[in-house]
Amino acid sequence: MTVAPTLAVASLRLDLGHTPILRGVDIDVMPGEVHGLVGESGAGKTMVGKAVLGIAPAGARIRSGSMTFLREDLIAMPERRRRDLLGRQIALIPQDPMTGLNPVLRIDRQMTDPLRLHLGLDRPAAAAKALDLLHQVRIREPERVLRQYPHELSGGMRQRVLIAMAFSCRPQLIVADEPTTALDVTVQRQILRLIKELQETAGTAILFITHDLGVVSKICDRVSVIHSGRILESAGVADLFDFPQHDYTRALMRATPRYDRPGDLLQPVPADLTARLIAEAEALDA
Amino acid sequence: MSAGYLLKRLLLAIPTLFGVLVVVFVLLRVVPGDPVTMMVGLTASEEDIARLRELYGFDKPIFTQFLIYLGDVLQGDLGVSITRKQEVLGLILGRLPVTLELSLFAMAVALLGGMMLGVLAVYRPGRGGELVADGFSGLGLAIPDFLWALMFILLFGVLIPLLPISGQIDPRLGFEPASGFYLFESLLIGEFAAFQSVLSHMVLPAVALAIPLAAIIARILKSSLQEVMTQDYILLARARGFSRLRIVLREALQNALIPTVTLSGVQFTFLVGGTVLIERIFSYPGLGNMAIEAVINRDIPLIQGIVLTFAVMFIALNLIIDSTYVLLNPRVRHG
């Protein structure tokens, strides 16, 4: 018997109002795998993450397809069961650390609330666990940070707090939605390394949403390339970089700066290619 | 809030109060209607009138009169009421607790009602909850407090006589609080019959005062809650498996209260201003009711004293509201 994927998304079609956003998305995230979902802005990659978490905006409607988490149907799942999974088995690392934390609540409240809800810890136990988690994400003076409000922390610190929260209940799956995009480059590296390290220790599967192929090369095991709500190509990370199959993947690589070849000129994705992809995608809507 | 900030605000109150004094003082002496003629009637002789004018100082130039008045006020002397022949300060201090209790009770009703409706609208959007909240706040905003008062009198005083519609307490109880605060004192010393009577007299005027304010609070809270609910940290809270009620109440409400408190604070001062008419309608023996009598009788010292009191109240209220804002918003706490 083969290993069941932690997350399996198949032929997922989703409309926002009357606009098709996802046009048949297939992604399998295997246990312990970091699966990159790469695309330009507007490609639908964030919507895939939100659909998996069941937090798509009002007006979003799943037209067809399936999503399963450890063979359990995520679409037909009752609200109670979903709430039980979220935060405990499935967690989110949001894109912008500046807005991801609640500005009026102290860090300890924001960290301990889910611990108490999902793990049934009492207040002192949850506080001890929060302290331990902050140690793990290498925050200095964690006792002080726990008493602070988000506005008193730097962007990198906040993202570390959000990462600690995501890993706090030892989830099977984490949806990381551009977790390093809002950070400056030096902090980005540290955060990526931290996520990778925690992921390897805990064996968590991660759906890693990003627009940055450079980030993909550092952290992902497999990659899916998305455009206009369609997966164009899916491959192991080494294969994708060495033998990209799709024209768009090659175009995306030419548009990404490479540290190993600093002299190369960057080329934007050609307009006729984008037009062709959009036409192909819209042909699926009929 | 730092002591320095508090001091600055208190210092800023001085020019405001001075301005209020000047405007009221000049206005009362410019508008038609002579207090002395009002007092003695049309049959009095010229000499009597002249003597009285001298007694109250109305014969002197306005500027001189003002300086004398200012000097008195600074020493805590607000003068003597022309019609009641009593110290203005004593009269005001007797009535102030009554109006304060009524306003605070009305504010509590408005906050409770407005917040419940605002939360309901966001907790059940597009369905029953939002419809009820919008309908109520539309109605509450369209109908002014005194019209609610008249409707309540018809409804609960005449058609279904459930609640008293006049006065502050059943006079047969003979309850006279030493502090002037009927509701608090009766509760504190365990005079429950008096407490119940005061409370039942307070319900209709307070609700009439509260409805328009509740409608405004519901509106502001609803729109700021809606705005907060789109924030990333709310999305994250949903992704952590919190129930919608918990998200609205524990994650969103405090954030949404920040703009609500600021705006409804301004509205509270309108509510206090509204007590003037409402007290009149319900024959409620507060400051507002006394203000109307003072105006009708051209009782200049009393009018001046009451306006000054209202001004001080408004300034104090604004200070309290600003402190609440600081409590709610940790980002301005270290300012």
Does one domain contain both B70 and B107?
Answer: no
- Asked whether residue B53 is assigned to any structural domain, the reply reads yes
- Chain A residues near residue B238 by CB distance under 8 angstroms: 53, 55, 86
Q: Measured between CA atoms, how close is B119 to chain A, in angstroms?
A: 18
pLDDT value of residue A187:
85
Does one domain contain both B133 and B18?
Answer: no
- Chain A residues near residue B242 by CB distance under 8 angstroms: 83, 87, 113-114, 117
Taking CA–CA distances from A117, the nearest residue in chain B reads B242
SS3 B154: helix
C-alpha distances (whole Å) from B30 to each of B24, B25, B34, B195 are 10, 9, 10, 45
B124 and chain A in contact, CB less than 8 A: no
Choose one of B45, B74, B103: the last residue of a domain. Answer: B74
Closest partner residue to B255 (CB to CB) among A95, A104, A175 is: A104
Residues 161-200, chain A, touching B (beta carbon < 8 A): 162, 165, 175
Taking CA–CA distances from B326, the nearest residue in chain A reads A104
Does one domain contain both B184 and B231?
Answer: yes
Does one domain contain both B109 and B39?
Answer: no
- Asked whether residue B86 is assigned to any structural domain, the reply reads no
Domain containing B261 — which CATH number? 1.10.3720.10
Contact state of B241 with A86 under an 8 Å Cβ cutoff: yes
Contact state of A92 with B239 under an 8 Å Cβ cutoff: yes
Does one domain contain both B163 and B57?
Answer: no
- Where residue A208 falls (left for φ over 0; alpha for ψ -120 to 50; beta otherwise) is beta
Q: What is the distance of C-alpha B78 from the center of its chain? A: 22
- Chain B residues near residue A103 by CB distance under 8 angstroms: 233, 255, 330-331
Question: What CA–CA distance (Å, rounded) separates B43 from B40?
Answer: 8
Does one domain contain both B227 and B280?
Answer: yes
Residue A42: pLDDT band with limits 50, 70, 90: confident
A59 and chain B in contact, CB less than 8 A: no
pLDDT value of residue B139:
93
- Asked whether residue B79 is assigned to any structural domain, the reply reads no
Residue A266: pLDDT band with limits 50, 70, 90: confident
- Chain B residues near residue A165 by CB distance under 8 angstroms: 240
A114 and chain B in contact, CB less than 8 A: yes
Q: Measured between CA atoms, how close is B250 to chain A, in angstroms?
A: 9
Choose one of B74, B106, B129: the last residue of a domain. Answer: B74
Does one domain contain both B184 and B279?
Answer: yes
Does one domain contain both B317 and B203?
Answer: yes
pLDDT value of residue A174:
96
Residue A285: pLDDT band with limits 50, 70, 90: confident
Contact state of A87 with B329 under an 8 Å Cβ cutoff: no
Contact state of B241 with A117 under an 8 Å Cβ cutoff: yes
Contact state of B235 with A101 under an 8 Å Cβ cutoff: no
Q: Which of B224, B232, B254, B327 to mutate to test the interface with A (most CBs of A within 10 A)?
A: B232
pLDDT tens for chain B, residues 1 to 335: 567 777 888 888 889 999 999 999 888 888 777 777 777 777 778 888 888 888 878 888 888 889 999 999 999 888 888 888 899 999 999 999 999 999 999 999 999 999 999 999 999 887 788 898 999 999 999 999 999 999 999 998 889 888 888 888 888 888 888 888 888 888 888 888 999 999 999 999 999 999 999 999 999 999 999 999 989 999 999 999 999 999 999 999 999 988 888 787 788 888 888 999 999 999 999 999 999 999 988 888 999 999 999 999 888 888 887 777 777 887 776 54
Taking CA–CA distances from B330, the nearest residue in chain A reads A104
Q: Which of B124, B234, B238, B240 to mutate to test the interface with A (most CBs of A within 10 A)?
A: B240
Q: Is the dihedral of CA B119, B124, B126, B130 positive or negative?
A: negative
Q: Measured between CA atoms, how close is B114 to chain A, in angstroms?
A: 22
Does one domain contain both B26 and B166?
Answer: no
SS3 A67: strand
Question: What CA–CA distance (Å, rounded) separates B178 from A205?
Answer: 71
B328 and chain A in contact, CB less than 8 A: yes
DSSP string, B160-203: S--S--SSSS-GGG----SSS-HHHHHHHTT-HHHHHHHHHHHH
Closest partner residue to A102 (CB to CB) among B125, B251, B329 is: B251
Does one domain contain both B326 and B214?
Answer: yes
- Asked whether residue B307 is assigned to any structural domain, the reply reads yes
The first and second tokens of residue A217, run together, are 């090369």
pLDDT value of residue B29:
84
All domains of chain A, ordered by start, with CATH? Answer: 1-89+205-232+239-286 (3.40.50.300)
- Asked whether residue B168 is assigned to any structural domain, the reply reads yes
Q: Which of A102, A111, A113 to mutate to test the interface with B (most CBs of B within 10 A)?
A: A102
pLDDT in tens, A118-148: 999 999 999 999 999 999 999 999 999 999 9
Q: Measured between CA atoms, how close is B227 to chain A, in angstroms?
A: 13
C-beta separation of B224 from B126 below 8 A: no
pLDDT value of residue B335:
42
pLDDT in tens, B67-96: 999 999 999 888 888 888 899 999 999 999
Does one domain contain both B147 and B41?
Answer: no
Number of independent structural domains in chain B: 2
- Chain B residues near residue A47 by CB distance under 8 angstroms: none
The first and second tokens of residue B205, run together, are 């005027």
Does one domain contain both B49 and B126?
Answer: no
- Asked whether residue B82 is assigned to any structural domain, the reply reads no
Residues in chain B: 335
Determine the angle formed by the axes of helices B300-328 and B253-281, rounding to 10 degrees: 160
Taking CA–CA distances from B329, the nearest residue in chain A reads A104
- Asked whether residue B147 is assigned to any structural domain, the reply reads yes
Determine the angle formed by the axes of helices B88-123 and B128-142, rounding to 10 degrees: 150
Q: What is the dihedral of CA A169, A175, A180, A181, to 10 degrees?
A: -150
Q: Which residue has the higher pLDDT, B153 or A266?
A: B153
Environment class of A272 (CB within 10 Å of its CB; exposed 0-12, middle 13-18, buried 19+) = exposed
Choose one of B21, B45, B74: the last residue of a domain. Answer: B74
pLDDT value of residue B278:
95
- Asked whether residue B108 is assigned to any structural domain, the reply reads yes
Domain that holds residue B49: 3-74
A86 and chain B in contact, CB less than 8 A: yes
